[in-house]
Amino acid sequence: MTFPTPGWDLQGTGGRQGLATDSQGRSQWALHSIGNGGDGWSRMRYSLYTFNGHAAAWTNIKVKARGAPDGGKNSNAYLIQTKGQYNNDAAVQDGTKDEVDIWEYYGGRNDATYNIFRRGTTPSGYPKSYSVSDAYSQAYTYEIILDNAKRTLEYNLYNEAGSRVGHLVETDSAKVPSEAMELFLGIWDCRGNSWCPGSFNGDSWMGVFEVYVKGC
């Protein structure tokens, strides 16, 4: 889909989102993180419907994106149970909800992370990391297929050439999220945390090329 389209709630102020062209001439939707104050984050929420609920128990999401290159920045795409409190970060991130981190990329690192939270707890064996040394410049596609009826969750990672370079199927129902969740994409400045690599304080941005969503 081309941004912005109906159904996307763009969050954050100060002109931190918009169409942009990178050094390779590729058009993409840019989400900026400037410093670590009020301009330190921007994100977009898919607002047309939730995923993994009774109305849409089967979910397929593909995000084609590149991460912000600078250390201290976290680029991401995730499903999370919000209970309608999507503008209340403290409520959304309270550590008790179901969540699927489809993609997390820390600038300056050579891997992309995929993770699950079940009732706020990361199951054994997670998170998973995949080598993507050029994820800041190349457009990888991060995909999940979540079947709440069968209690399975499949993850696929494709490089820009379309070759699958990461794959995982989770069949342990205790590890598969069961609650309805909303889709977010965004970037934030994580420098205030000891686990966050890097200390870049300027303007850094991630690029979103395509998002495919299907729920039934």
As a whole number of angstroms, the longest Cα–Cα distance in the chain is 45
- Enter the pTM of the model: 0.92
Q: What pLDDT does residue 36 have?
A: 67
For the CA atoms of 102, 23, 187, 126, what is the dihedral angle to 10 degrees? 30
User: Does residue 1 belong to any structural domain of this protein?
Assistant: no
User: Does residue 156 belong to any structural domain of this protein?
Assistant: yes
User: Does residue 138 belong to any structural domain of this protein?
Assistant: yes
> Which residue range forms the structural domain that includes residue 173?
8-215
Residue 136 belongs to a domain with what CATH number? 2.60.120.200
**How many domains does the structure of the chain reveal?**
1
Coil vs helix vs strand at 136: coil
pLDDT in tens, the chain (216 residues): 456 677 898 887 555 899 999 888 999 999 999 876 667 889 999 999 899 987 789 999 999 999 999 999 999 999 999 877 777 777 777 778 999 999 999 998 999 999 999 999 999 999 999 999 999 999 999 999 999 999 999 999 999 999 999 999 999 999 999 999 999 999 998 887 888 888 888 899 999 999 999 999
